[in-house]
Amino acid sequence: MKRMAGILILGMLLSGCSYTYSHDDGYRMAVINEGFPVPKNAYEVRPEDCTTEIAKSAKYKMKNIGDEEGTPSDDYLHEIEKWGWEEIEEARVGNVHYFKKNKKIISLIIQRDIFDVFEMSDEVKL
């Protein structure tokens, strides 16, 4: 009986952690910058190493966060703007988006089921 209960609990835990993007689930602060939103159910994984251009980095897994070309949903872009970030559209390169708030620049790189958030160093000017 204990074995059956253990298997049942494990199955519920695994099935409940799908981490699929949905605007309705809400947003939370990114681990690298309290003022930048990430989907609430995004699963944090090991980030990329920082460089002279990147002060802090975070990497998240989430199904359907972007389309095949790496374009984030309009809902997510709108949420980023609601948090006070302005996209620097002339700096966008493919699926790399840049946002500015006060003197901070955040780079958001979207892929189909994974995304990176980088806080750029103060030396980077866009």
* For the chain, domain boundaries: 2-120
> Do you know the residue count of the chain?
126
- To which H or E segment does residue 17 belong? none
Other residues' Cβ atoms within 10 Å of the Cβ of residue 126? 11
Q: Are 98 and 87 in contact, with CB atoms under 8 Å apart? A: yes
Interval 19-72: pLDDT, tens? 566 666 789 999 899 899 999 989 888 877 778 889 999 999 988 888 888 888
Q: Are 65 and 117 in contact, with CB atoms under 8 Å apart? A: no
pTM: 0.76
Interval 72-110: pLDDT, tens? 888 999 999 999 999 999 999 988 999 999 999 999 999
Each residue of 7-20: b (16+ CB within 10 Å) or e?
eeeeeeeeeeeebe
Structure tokens at 67: 């389309």
